[in-house]
Amino acid sequence: MESYLNPQHYDLVTPDGFIQELHTIDERSKMAVVKIDDISPAFVGYEIDSSLIVFNLKSTLAQLGMNGIGREYTINPKQSSALIRVELQAIGPISAAMLELLQVGAYIGKLFAADDRRRVRDPDYLMRMFGRSDRRGRPLLSLGGLDGSRDLILEKNEGRTVAFLSLRDGIVTYDTSVYSFLPTLAKALMKNMPHTRQLLHLHHHWVSGQPRLVKENDVLLVRTAPLHIRTVYARVVDKLLPQGYHHTTANVLQPDTSASGDIYELYGSSNQVLDDIPLEFYTLEPHREHVFFSDRDQLQASLEDPAALFEAVRTAPSPDNYLAAVFVVKGTQMKHLTAQDWIIRDPYKHEFPGLTHPSRQAMIVEKYIENQPAYPFLKAIETGLITSQGILLCRHFPTPLLKRTLLNDDVQRCLKRIYFRYPSCSHDSFFSHEDRAMLVDLAKFGIPVYWIDETSQKILQYTLKSDKDTGLFVPISLVDAFRKATVLGVYGSNLQEGTFENELKGLLQGLLEMREHVNHPLLGPGTPLALLTGGGPGAMEMSNRVAKSLGILSCANIVDFRAKSTSIVNEQRQNPYIDAKMTYRLDRLVERQAEFYLDLPIFVPGGIGMDFEYTLEEVRRKTGSCPINPVLLFGELEYWKRKVSSRFQVNRDTGTIKGSEWVSNCFYCVQTARQGLSVLRRFFDNKLPIGKDSPVYSDGFCIVE
C-alpha cells in the first residue's frame, strides 16, 4: 500500500534503464538490450496488455536526432525488472556521432504504460485546470502563461481528448559546438545525471521564419510556447501528424513538465508545413491529480450515502483493534476499497517519560506519531506528493498527537474531511479530554469530522454550538437545527423515570406552540429546540424518549460508567432515544457536567449527581458564566424544600452567600406543564422578576401557585 507514496514513483512509468548489451547493425543503427531495475510494484504495466507498453527514449537523445524503437519486452514483476531490446537509429549526422559514443551502462530511456483506462476522454477534465496553480504558484496546465493560451486547442477525437499545440514560426538548429559537447553528454548518461537537456539547449540556435518542413535523413526540431503540465501525462499522437511526419519515441511528457516541453523532434519526408503538435493525455494516480474536492461529484455522492461509508470502513483489515487509515480522493477509489488499500499499524503501547525528561519525551512522541497509520498520508500531503483534495478514512479517531500535522497549512488545504468508526482504540466509544480539544480545533480550522456510528447506524458530524467551545456529534441532516437550537436539559435520577413524562411532554408541546407567538432571542417563530440529558436510563431515558416523540433533537453527554473494580456507581447503559451525542471518560465527569451549557434547565427528583448539577446551575448564575435564565424544578413542594431550602437557609443565615441570595429567584418549583409554561411565558415576555434586582425567596426557590 505505502509503495505508491514513494516520491520517486509514478505508476505509468518505470525508472530509467541502462544499456546492458550493445550491438552494431549498420553505420546508423545499433541494437541495445536495456535493463530496468527497481520498478515499483504499483507499475500499471504489470497488469495491462503488453502491447500498450512502449519504450520512451530520453528526450536529450531525441533532440540530437536519435530514435529508439522497442522491439521486444520482457517484464518480470517478481524481480521488479524489465529487459527491452531497443533499436537505436541515428536520423542525422549529430545523432550518428552520438550513437558511436554510447556505451554499455548508459541510461537511455524508460517504459510508459499507455493504459487505456487512464486516457483523458472529456476536455472538461483539462479545461478546469486552466488558471489554477499548485501550492508553489506553478500552473497546473498551460501553454504560455498561467491562464493557458489561445494556442492550445482541445478537441474530442476518436473518444479521447486531443490538444493541438500551435508551433512558433521557425525551427531549432545546432551550433557546431554541439559536437564537442557530445563526449560530456555520453559520460553524463553513464551517471544518469538529471538536467542534461537544459545543457543541450545551450547549443540550440533559433532560426525565425524558417519553414517547418521535415526532410529525409534529418531531424526537424520545432518549438511551441512553454508548456506546463502538473496533472497528466501527455503523448504525441503520431497518426494525427501530417502524412510523412513521425515523432521520435521521446514522445511522452511527464507531469513535472514546467516551462519546458516546448521542443518536439520529428523525422520523415514531406512538403507540407507542420502547424501544430497533437497530444493525448493520461491521468495520474488519483492522489496526484491536483483535483479539488468540489470537482469530485461521485465522491461527494458516496459520502452522502451512509451505506457506502459503512461498507467502506468495514474494508479495513482485521483485527479490529489495529489502527488503520486510508486517504480517499475519488468516488471509484472509495467504492472499490480493499484491505490492501489501507495502512495498518499495531497499537503498541508507549510509556511517555513526561515533561521532566523533555528530550526523551519529544523523541518517543515523534516515534509514536510516525507509527500512526494516518501519518504517511499527512506527510505525503506536506511534502507535495499528495496533491488532490480528499478525505481521511480511519478505523479510530486520530490521536491528538497528530494535531500539529493535521493543522499544517498544506494539510489543511488538502484534507477536506475526517471519518472514523471508533472514537478510541483503548476506550471504545469514549473520547479523551485531548480528543475533544482537537475536535474543537479541527472545527475552527474548517476540517469537518464525522463519526460512522455503529450504535445509531448513522453518520454523525461534529458540530460546535454557537458561541461555545464545545459540541456534539449530530446527524448530518440535523446539523443546522442543532446550531440554531435553544437547548433544554433534564437532570434527574438514572434509577427512576419518575411520574413526570406527561407533564414534560406537555411542557415541550407548549413551547413548540408558544414559539409562534413570542419574540425572544431563545424562542421565536421557527426556533429549533433540542433536549440534552446524560444519555442513561431513568429520568434521562424518559426525557430523550419524549423529545424524540415530538421531533425535538434528542441529545446526550454520555459518561463511561462501565463497571470497574473500584466502581461505586450504577452501570448506566446508553438509552436508545438519542440523536446527537458526545462521550466522556469517567475521569472527566466534572468537565462533562460543565459542558452542558443549557439555555433552559429542568430538574426532576434525583440523587447525588443531580445535587451536584443543581449546585452547578446555581454557581453559573451567581458567577455570570451563563445568562440568568429560569430553572424549573418538577416535583412536590416538600421534596424540593427538603433538597434545597435547608442548605439555602443555612448559607443565608451564616452569611456565606451574602449578596448572592438573589440566585433563589432563578429557580421555580412546578408540578404541572401549565405552571412551567406560565414561568417561561413571563420570561420570554420580559415580565418575570429574575436577577440581581428581583426578590429573594426564603425557600431558595420560587413556589409557583
The domain segmentation of the chain, as residue ranges, is 2-116, 123-167+212-284, 287-454, 477-705
Contact 392, 327 (CB under 8 A): yes
According to the model, what pLDDT value does residue 402 have?
94
Mean pLDDT by 10 residues, the chain (705 residues): 67 95 95 96 92 96 96 95 97 95 97 95 86 79 65 84 92 93 96 89 92 93 86 93 96 76 90 94 90 91 96 94 95 93 84 72 83 93 91 96 93 96 92 94 96 95 88 96 95 87 96 94 95 93 96 94 60 86 87 86 93 93 93 96 95 95 97 97 96 95 93
Q: Which three cell numbers stand for residue 568?
A: 461505586
Cα distances (Å, whole numbers) of residue 8 to 16, 38, 214, 231:
12, 11, 36, 16
The top-level CATH class assigned to 2-116 is mainly beta
According to the model, what pLDDT value does residue 508 have?
97
Instruction: Kindly state the greatest CA–CA separation across the chain.
Output: 116
What residue has cell string 546508423? 28
According to the model, what pLDDT value does residue 542 have?
95
Residue 56, SS3 per DSSP: strand
The hierarchical CATH code for the domain 477-705 is 3.40.50.450
Alpha carbon distance 167, 263 (integer Å): 10
DSSP string for residues in 92-137:
SHHHHHHHHH--TT-EEEEEEE--GGGB---HHHHHTTTT-B-TTS
| Chosen CATH of 123-167+212-284 out of 3.40.390, 2.60.40, 2.70.40, 1.10.3470 | 2.70.40
Q: Which fold has domain 287-454?
A: Cytidine Deaminase; domain 2 (3.40.140)
